[in-house]
Structure 1
């Protein structure tokens, strides 16, 4: 029997990529070079590049990467507590007993993705010379794609560890030494911003009308979203707003096109922002936005998400383990009880009774607040319930845990814009007066928050609005808190909250506001926790002990040098 060897090479190469980089648990930098013969025979045509690019996405969709996206971005915040059967590593993080032995201080899964991206960047240009079907435009688009993915990985790493080794060469040579010092947070951020700026115009705008790849692959608008986020962290608020507006205008144009083609839409305008309505056409039933965004996935509001919905062979293990399976509400994580206290009688400080995000994202049972976001495929509840108890939420369950994991969506960008505008506007002068420019920025920022809030509470233009501009314009801090609170409600359980709090601390030069928000979830040892969390160094994770042993250039975060420090009194 004759076999087409070339047909099978991509599978072998992807397998090599998955095992060759970072195979040692002792050191992400002890990378086994890829087999020279395999490389020589592999990088010959466009399909080889495509296979390797796909492996970059596959790596991000592994349980190791996904769980870190959630744990690093949310676990230490005021959004999460341990649930049923939480493993020791998660319990220690939840209790702020972070040690250099904790499994979540390991970063090799992200460096594996970085190495795959570096491999594409190294070899793809040579394929353009060998394969006439691989055009220059396709080459540039692939380079833009993996450069953005590499930048996203580094962005996760610096927000978690602060200073990290910055490597841009693939593991292809026995002579390469990957034991390098950690690069400072600001330097890495500058590099990855410059990288994305250099390739943004080469990225694909669209993979075709209605193609799911417009949400599940890197597009130009995904890069804009990443740049907006990175500029927000850099403190370049004008550039942040510029890129937020590019994404928003893209969705506004898409909405206008939809209006011309369809007489009835689930998408409606909230102020100037097109969003999926929870109850389209003022329906008596809500839940449409949740169902489309988190249930079905690849919604109108999606900018970039990791795809599981159409897969028959893989599940979102992060959702299954942390939030609950399709047959069991109990996950290893849950929401703190104060999210539910007083919602029914209107005394809750987080959610109003009408807020769909309370109704659809969580479920209270026997004093446990189960997380349902991403778990259920669809929800429905009556919007006309105004007296008595909360409306009953009917869930549509999935056959498997295949909810897509969203990295960026439209409301995230709208609220980024609001945050940048308030920072740009600055403080209200003594006496409460605003300049004309400040007034414009404050009102625009408030309209961003108002749009997101109105959608969630099923409010429309004609209804009385309980979110009033004059109540928040009294100070910059009041507006900041409004935006932070809305980001918390809107992006809850999406791996954003701890990063938002770290950004707040970096901007304030103090951890005090973060500490005040986080401490209420702890029932004991709060005095020790307040002391520990007040240190700027404590915002970041320690380097894993194995990384320190393998790389002599790494210097442990000072917050974790004293092994006698504990929050257990």
Structure 2
């Protein structure tokens, strides 16, 4: 996110000082010193808003959990020599590794929720005290906060299923709470996101009727893909609906993105080099990052850990002999079987890769390097300093198009689903899907998602949705029915609150 360090630090400091959370969430509760001096100026709302984005970014990047939850389990990557990562890949989520202590604890997501609750409770004070804080500014701020809180709950539900439901900060006074039904929470998530989308602009500081003038006195270039926009929310809403199995709503939400993406200056990216370039799609803040969280190098947001590059890169990209994880050659050839695929393919005459800098490098070695995302420092090529600043992208336009295809196929609109699928196949130079051919449409859509979104933390969640649709894998259906698709809950949380029960599958 392009947020100046001073503002982000101030936001995180104020929010952490005020972070009053339940015992079962395992977050220290501290009453803010000088709380009465905060929430008096529009500068305070800006700091708190940016701080909440920062907390969400920290929650998703901690220990690389975004990829631990979404990419590794039952996925295409294998571990080179790390048994903890291999345990995740194999679905042994109750293994006794230090990494699992962090991955099974949901406290960092509740920090986002509590910061959001505090914002919603106190933003009215700023409106009363600061005449420069307009009704429109407050409405847009509230829309973003409602979305961030809803997103945190959505992510919690996809990882743990039933979770505690907290909608007020309660000023630090809490009783232990049990987990609540995931469907109740998802209904809240969808309702909140729809309300947020109604109040958010297509772009900021762009004279959108819903946000006139310069947002917080900054030009539009400052906010491009830094903040949640209207289409960001609809993109995530499509995922919420698909996860609930409500594919008719998923069609509606994803279609809204596809019908309006030009209003946000987005476009389908035909150049796989640009997607995978060190200064391309994943570097900085680009308009085609439909919803993502940035690590701006110029703002000193780059980190040594918490990025996929920390697990996937090795020589010659960085000074590291072997990556932690890789995709075996046989898997690459099986997934990328089209002879002209612009993401990865082999020359039919020489048998050598057509591209050595897109999705994979060092293909002919025993351990190919997944190099689709490789933002070192500010998109440079110096291998000596492993400092990463790649954007954590939750969704982009190509991903939404394939989710739209999935939703159309499930709801019976075969022709529309084929058109959406072939839109991506065409720009990746893969032969079009033909109705009545040997390919199954659902299989083809999910295979295209597998290729296009590899390394972007969708694979596990795609597998869950795929198996709920197909229902032809008895072992996976048993995993779904017994709650094995969710992660176990941290032992620390279980010790703190006897009302929290372990997911039955992991008892």
Paired position in structure 1 for 2:111: 112
Instruction: Say whether the 8 Å CA contact 1:472–1:482 is kept in structure 2.
Output: no
Provide TM-score, normalisation by structure 1. Answer: 0.74
Instruction: Say whether the 8 Å CA contact 2:17–2:31 is kept in structure 1.
Output: no
Which is worse superposed, 57-66 or 243-252? 57-66
Q: Using the TM superposition, give the Cα deviation of residue 251 of structure 1 relative to its aligned residue in structure 2, in angstroms.
A: 2.2
Q: Using the TM superposition, give the Cα deviation of residue 309 of structure 1 relative to its aligned residue in structure 2, in angstroms.
A: 3.9
Whether 1:224 aligns to 2:234 is yes
| 1:122-151 deviations in Å (ceiling 9; x for gaps) | 111221111111111111111110111111
Matches of 1:397 and 1:224, distance apart in 2: 38
Paired position in structure 1 for 2:93: 98
Matches of 2:442 and 2:134, distance apart in 1: 47
Paired position in structure 2 for 1:430: none
Instruction: Say whether the 8 Å CA contact 2:288–2:396 is kept in structure 1.
Output: yes
Q: Using the TM superposition, give the Cα deviation of residue 17 of structure 1 relative to its aligned residue in structure 2, in angstroms.
A: 2.7
Matches of 1:543 and 1:100, distance apart in 2: 12
Mind listing any 5+ residue stretches in structure 1 that lack a counterpart?
A: 1-7, 256-266, 268-273, 279-285, 379-394, 426-440, 460-464, 516-531, 562-569
Structure 1 residues 254 and 453: alpha-carbon distance in aligned structure 2, compared to 1, 3 A threshold: same
Provide TM-score, normalisation by structure 2. Answer: 0.82
Q: Provide the aligned C-alpha RMSD in A.
A: 3.1
Whether 1:305 aligns to 2:315 is no
Q: Using the TM superposition, give the Cα deviation of residue 536 of structure 1 relative to its aligned residue in structure 2, in angstroms.
A: 3.7
Paired position in structure 1 for 2:342: 356
| 1:510-537 deviations in Å (ceiling 9; x for gaps) | 654859xxxxxxxxxxxxxxxx857642
Instruction: Say whether the 8 Å CA contact 1:205–1:220 is kept in structure 2.
Output: yes
Q: Using the TM superposition, give the Cα deviation of residue 541 of structure 1 relative to its aligned residue in structure 2, in angstroms.
A: 0.7
Structure 1 residues 53 and 300: alpha-carbon distance in aligned structure 2, compared to 1, 3 A threshold: closer
Whether 1:124 aligns to 2:70 is no
| 1:177-201 deviations in Å (ceiling 9; x for gaps) | 2x21111121111111111122321
Structure 1 residues 370 and 21: alpha-carbon distance in aligned structure 2, compared to 1, 3 A threshold: farther
Structure 1 residues 293 and 396: alpha-carbon distance in aligned structure 2, compared to 1, 3 A threshold: same
Paired position in structure 1 for 2:347: none
Matches of 2:451 and 2:301, distance apart in 1: 29
| 1:257-311 deviations in Å (ceiling 9; x for gaps) | xxxxxxxxxx9xxxxxx52222xxxxxxx62343375354544532111112443
Structure 1 residues 22 and 91: alpha-carbon distance in aligned structure 2, compared to 1, 3 A threshold: farther
Paired position in structure 1 for 2:184: 187
Matches of 1:312 and 1:39, distance apart in 2: 27
Whether 1:211 aligns to 2:221 is yes
Structure 1 residues 159 and 254: alpha-carbon distance in aligned structure 2, compared to 1, 3 A threshold: closer
Paired position in structure 1 for 2:448: 486
> Equivalent residue of 1:406, what SS?
strand
Matches of 1:413 and 1:10, distance apart in 2: 30
Q: Using the TM superposition, give the Cα deviation of residue 29 of structure 1 relative to its aligned residue in structure 2, in angstroms.
A: 4.1
Q: Using the TM superposition, give the Cα deviation of residue 208 of structure 1 relative to its aligned residue in structure 2, in angstroms.
A: 3.5
Q: Using the TM superposition, give the Cα deviation of residue 20 of structure 1 relative to its aligned residue in structure 2, in angstroms.
A: 6.0
Whether 1:287 aligns to 2:273 is yes
Instruction: Say whether the 8 Å CA contact 1:339–1:351 is kept in structure 2.
Output: no
Work out which of the two has the higher radius of gyration on C-alpha atoms and give 1 or 2: 1
Mind listing any 5+ residue stretches in structure 2 that lack a counterpart?
A: 1-5, 207-219, 345-354
Whether 1:327 aligns to 2:318 is yes
Paired position in structure 1 for 2:434: 468
Q: Using the TM superposition, give the Cα deviation of residue 555 of structure 1 relative to its aligned residue in structure 2, in angstroms.
A: 1.4
| 1:320-376 deviations in Å (ceiling 9; x for gaps) | 422236524643222244223xx4xxxx35432322323412223531132212215
User: Which of residues 396, 400, 410 is equivalent to 1:409?
Assistant: 396
Matches of 2:245 and 2:460, distance apart in 1: 18
